[in-house]
A and B are shown apart, each in its own frame.
Chain A
Amino acid sequence: MIPLHYYLVVSALLFSIGTVGVLTRRNAIVIFMCVELMLNAVNLTFVAFSNFLGSLDGQIFVFFVMTVAAAEAAVGLALMIAFFKNRESIDVEEMNLLKL
């Protein structure tokens, strides 16, 4: 039986990697993947606690998170295609048209 804090440490590591990726990478698709990483880190925590507490609530939440992540991927990828058609790039540094 693996103790709870092992899961939590892994999950925290995954979340941190995801956050750093979002903050540092310039390619929108990579940023997107990092967001997925953060979501899955959270999912891992949910499942771990669900098991630890003997309650199904956490696992139910995971389904919701996965649904939202799927929807987000669909919309996000569509946005990126639209953006790429206009600017021939998906570099987030170039998404600055609203700047003064």
Chain B
Amino acid sequence: MLEYVWLIPFFPLVGVIINGLFGKKIRNEAFIGGLATAMVASSFVVSCGILIQLIGMEPEQRVFQKVLFTWIQAGTFKADIGFLVDPLSAIMIMVVTGVGSLIHLYSIGYMHGEEGFYRYFTYLNLFTFSMLLLVLGGNMLLMFVGWEGVGLCSYLLIGYYFHKKSAGDAGKKAFVMNRVGDFGFLIGLFTIFWWLGTNHNVWTINFVELKQASELLPFGGVVTFATLCFFLGATGKSAQIPLYTWLPDAMEGPTPVSALIHAATMVTAGVYMIGRMNFVFIKSPTTMLVIACTGAATALFAATIGMAQNDIKRVLAYSTVSQLGYMFLAMGVGAFTAGVFHLMTHAFFKACLFLGSGSVIHAMHHALHHGHLHDDPQDMRNMGGLRKKMPITFVTFLVSTIAISGIPPFSGFFSKDEILWQAFSNPYHGTANVVLWAIGTIAACLTAFYMFRLVFMTFCGECRINPKVKDHLHESPLVITIPLMVLGLLATFGGFIGIPKLLGDLFGGIPNRFELWLEPVFEKSTEYAGQYAHAGTHYGHSVEGGLMLLSVGVAALGIGIAYTLYIASPSIPQRFTARFPGLHQAVYNKWYVDELYDFLFVNPCKALGRFLWKGFDVLVVDGIVNGVAAVVRGFSGVLRYTQSGFVHNYAMTMALGVVVILAFYIFR
């Protein structure tokens, strides 16, 4: 089965070619959507086969490389089109193809009747192809191709409704901000390649060879520079401070796209990249601290913004940014397994939340459309009481919300608690660990609060939609609810593959399968970290258990506050905003970060562009070109008089010329 790993990205590529070339002629929605879904589902089947085969192998042998052909060969530089299968990429392909095929299925229902149906599925297949290339690529360059490919598809799909100016702008914003990060990625790649080559004559970009060669890299120094560059790439792709502002705007795209690209898969590419190159990152304690701090700061910062948004998708977008912050926090404290675990559980519950919100928007849109109303179907202030109208959506949404809030035994609890525990106990950053843990815990409380605020405002209380169209609200069709139910189940039970040892022992010694599974991938980093880690205190079971209870407690506290404010006494939020209008405005306007960026970067860039246009291009460049033309015209104006148009003049000139030439030869 492993030999056929190339089939995994190949299937979606076939979908791209068929739908992309002939989709416009085919026009049959069932065929186009069915084909795209079937292609991703086929990849999922192959991925399952590969996973099963990997499980059957010895843990040390679970690394397989399949080289299709040599792509670039220039001197000492060699890049193959080759795939790398190991426990980490196996998890990623399972998530991408599994969640991906559910979202493809969902899209058939959600995008029904949209103009450019074939275009949508072509892009979605192209995205799946690129994402699979990213996670399966056996070297940094092939990974970068996938990295750029998903960025392109993200741009195309955010701008799917390109006739809306805001959608086009959001697409461009995402693309440009990603470019900033991609630049970092490339510099990092060059640095590692060049440094290993010139100093140790190891010219390689292959991950397996790099892992061997990572012994040669120093702690800090050039590695700090390279990994910071890579991390810049990760902040762009995974929406971390300072490059996170594109993700909330990316909600202009269709909702399934938000679920697939901007929640479950693409935005986790940065986390995956750090996990893939853990043996490089771990060698720079500075970078690890930067990653941890950025992650923690993003987790808290995005959570605060999420508390005051009214657009259902924007709340989820900020929640995604915040959860990605958790993953980076985990990466930064050296808990790679926990980060990847959260990546996986987050893919389940966040995809479910986004698809649930899509189902709500779909219903709202139809009802409002029916009544010819122009209210915003995404504004939670227009919702409320949808629980009875849309029971399946409500239940799946609720379990995912509980999961993201970190209530046991739902999946989010296991992954988030693992991250917080590792942030507290891992001895890499000394006292900073406690601060990181505290920020993470506060953000966990905020997460529970704003997510339950979302649920209460949308599904509970009085129905605030215009009473005229109240009866037109109804549950979405099966093609939409089936993916919701599957993802809801995954969000509920997905955490059981990574039960922490403390709890596992309570229930008769269940091992942490997830950790064991990923152990061979991160073995080098454990080894390197041991060389510089502080000999920190070893905390006992009681501390771990206490922190676990505390994290559940703060989540419950967040839920309680949300219940008080939005169910028990709904007048408090208004009183609060009336009391602190400045604070509310600042949070509502996303702390004015967009305005700050406009002031610091966008407007200076525009001014520079205007200067180069009006000043340099018009005056200097055009001046030189036009000046040359004017000089030539002046001379030719004079010389033109010799062209009299009279044959006699020409003949005379010719005869005189002959005479002069003859005279020259005779008398010289």
Distance A72 CA – B645 CA, assembled complex (angstroms): 23
Distance A96 CA – B645 CA, assembled complex (angstroms): 5
Find residues 69-100 in chain A having any chain B CB closer than 8 Å to their own CB: 92-93, 95-96, 98-100
Please name all residues of chain B whose beta carbon is closer than 8 Å to the beta carbon of A99 when the two chains form the complex. Answer: 643-645
Distance A100 CA – B643 CA, assembled complex (angstroms): 8
Distance A22 CA – B647 CA, assembled complex (angstroms): 10
Nearest B-chain residue to A24, judged by Cβ: B648
Q: Would you call B640 and A100 a contact (CB within 8 A)? A: yes
Say yes or no: is A1 at the interface (Cβ < 8 Å to chain B): no
Distance A95 CA – B651 CA, assembled complex (angstroms): 14
Please name all residues of chain A whose beta carbon is closer than 8 Å to the beta carbon of B644 when the two chains form the complex. Answer: 99
One digit per residue, 1 when the CB lies within 8 angstroms of any chain A CB and 0 when it does not, for chain B 454-481 equals 0000000000000000000000000000
Find residues 619-647 in chain B having any chain A CB closer than 8 Å to their own CB: 640, 643-647
Please name all residues of chain A whose beta carbon is closer than 8 Å to the beta carbon of B652 when the two chains form the complex. Answer: 23
Q: Would you call B648 and A23 a contact (CB within 8 A)? A: yes
The smallest C-beta distance from A93 to any residue of chain B, in angstroms, reads 6
The smallest C-beta distance from B396 to any residue of chain A, in angstroms, reads 82
The smallest C-beta distance from A29 to any residue of chain B, in angstroms, reads 14
Distance A98 CA – B643 CA, assembled complex (angstroms): 10
Find residues 1-39 in chain A having any chain B CB closer than 8 Å to their own CB: 19, 22-24, 26
Say yes or no: is B655 at the interface (Cβ < 8 Å to chain A): yes
Q: Would you call B643 and A22 a contact (CB within 8 A)? A: no
B contacts with A: majority SS: helix
Q: Would you call B651 and A22 a contact (CB within 8 A)? A: yes
Distance A5 CA – B640 CA, assembled complex (angstroms): 44
Please name all residues of chain A whose beta carbon is closer than 8 Å to the beta carbon of B647 when the two chains form the complex. Answer: 92-93, 95
The smallest C-beta distance from A20 to any residue of chain B, in angstroms, reads 9
One digit per residue, 1 when the CB lies within 8 angstroms of any chain A CB and 0 when it does not, for chain B 646-663 equals 111001100100000000
Q: How many residues of A contact B (CB 8 A)?
A: 12
Please name all residues of chain B whose beta carbon is closer than 8 Å to the beta carbon of A22 when the two chains form the complex. Answer: 651, 655
Nearest A-chain residue to B652, judged by Cβ: A23
Please name all residues of chain B whose beta carbon is closer than 8 Å to the beta carbon of A95 when the two chains form the complex. Answer: 647
Q: Would you call B655 and A19 a contact (CB within 8 A)? A: yes
One digit per residue, 1 when the CB lies within 8 angstroms of any chain A CB and 0 when it does not, for chain B 12-32 equals 000000000000000000000
The smallest C-beta distance from A71 to any residue of chain B, in angstroms, reads 20
Find residues 35-55 in chain B having any chain A CB closer than 8 Å to their own CB: none
Q: Would you call A23 and B655 a contact (CB within 8 A)? A: yes
Please name all residues of chain B whose beta carbon is closer than 8 Å to the beta carbon of A96 when the two chains form the complex. Answer: 645-646
The smallest C-beta distance from A96 to any residue of chain B, in angstroms, reads 4
Please name all residues of chain A whose beta carbon is closer than 8 Å to the beta carbon of B643 when the two chains form the complex. Answer: 99-100
Distance A23 CA – B651 CA, assembled complex (angstroms): 6
Distance A100 CA – B641 CA, assembled complex (angstroms): 10
Please name all residues of chain A whose beta carbon is closer than 8 Å to the beta carbon of B651 when the two chains form the complex. Answer: 22-23
Please name all residues of chain A whose beta carbon is closer than 8 Å to the beta carbon of B646 when the two chains form the complex. Answer: 92-93, 96
The smallest C-beta distance from A15 to any residue of chain B, in angstroms, reads 11
Please name all residues of chain B whose beta carbon is closer than 8 Å to the beta carbon of A26 when the two chains form the complex. Answer: 648
Nearest A-chain residue to B659, judged by Cβ: A19
Distance A95 CA – B644 CA, assembled complex (angstroms): 11
Nearest A-chain residue to B658, judged by Cβ: A19
Please name all residues of chain B whose beta carbon is closer than 8 Å to the beta carbon of A23 when the two chains form the complex. Answer: 648, 651-652, 655
The smallest C-beta distance from B163 to any residue of chain A, in angstroms, reads 51
Best-surrounded residue of B640, B648, B655 (most CB of chain A within 10 A): B648
The smallest C-beta distance from B638 to any residue of chain A, in angstroms, reads 13
Distance A100 CA – B646 CA, assembled complex (angstroms): 12
Q: Would you call B648 and A92 a contact (CB within 8 A)? A: yes
Find residues 45-81 in chain A having any chain B CB closer than 8 Å to their own CB: none
Nearest B-chain residue to A93, judged by Cβ: B646
Please name all residues of chain B whose beta carbon is closer than 8 Å to the beta carbon of A98 when the two chains form the complex. Answer: 645
Distance A24 CA – B643 CA, assembled complex (angstroms): 18
Distance A96 CA – B648 CA, assembled complex (angstroms): 11
Please name all residues of chain A whose beta carbon is closer than 8 Å to the beta carbon of B640 when the two chains form the complex. Answer: 100
Distance A22 CA – B653 CA, assembled complex (angstroms): 12
The smallest C-beta distance from B305 to any residue of chain A, in angstroms, reads 71
Please name all residues of chain B whose beta carbon is closer than 8 Å to the beta carbon of A19 when the two chains form the complex. Answer: 655
Distance A92 CA – B645 CA, assembled complex (angstroms): 10
Distance A19 CA – B652 CA, assembled complex (angstroms): 9
Please name all residues of chain B whose beta carbon is closer than 8 Å to the beta carbon of A92 when the two chains form the complex. Answer: 646-648
Distance A39 CA – B652 CA, assembled complex (angstroms): 18
Please name all residues of chain B whose beta carbon is closer than 8 Å to the beta carbon of A100 when the two chains form the complex. Answer: 640, 643, 645
The smallest C-beta distance from A11 to any residue of chain B, in angstroms, reads 16
Distance A91 CA – B645 CA, assembled complex (angstroms): 13
Best-surrounded residue of A19, A23, A100 (most CB of chain B within 10 A): A23
The smallest C-beta distance from B572 to any residue of chain A, in angstroms, reads 87
Nearest B-chain residue to A26, judged by Cβ: B648
Distance A92 CA – B643 CA, assembled complex (angstroms): 15
Distance A92 CA – B646 CA, assembled complex (angstroms): 7
Distance A100 CA – B640 CA, assembled complex (angstroms): 8
Nearest B-chain residue to A100, judged by Cβ: B640
Distance A26 CA – B647 CA, assembled complex (angstroms): 9
Nearest B-chain residue to A25, judged by Cβ: B648
The smallest C-beta distance from B642 to any residue of chain A, in angstroms, reads 11
Distance A71 CA – B645 CA, assembled complex (angstroms): 26
A-B contact pairs, 11 of them (CB 8 A): A19-B655, A23-B648, A23-B652, A92-B647, A93-B646, A93-B648, A95-B647, A98-B645, A99-B644, A99-B645, A100-B640
Q: Which residues of B contact A (CB under 8 A)?
A: 640, 643-648, 651-652, 655
Known: A23-B655, A100-B645. 20 other contacts (CB 8 A): A19-B655, A22-B651, A22-B655, A23-B648, A23-B651, A23-B652, A26-B648, A92-B646, A92-B647, A93-B646, A93-B647, A93-B648, A95-B647, A96-B645, A96-B646, A98-B645, A99-B643, A99-B644, A99-B645, A100-B643
Q: Which residues of A contact B (CB under 8 A)?
A: 19, 22-24, 26, 92-93, 95-96, 98-100
Q: Which 10 A-B pairs have the closest CB atoms?
A: A99-B645, A96-B645, A92-B647, A23-B652, A23-B651, A22-B651, A95-B647, A19-B655, A23-B648, A100-B640
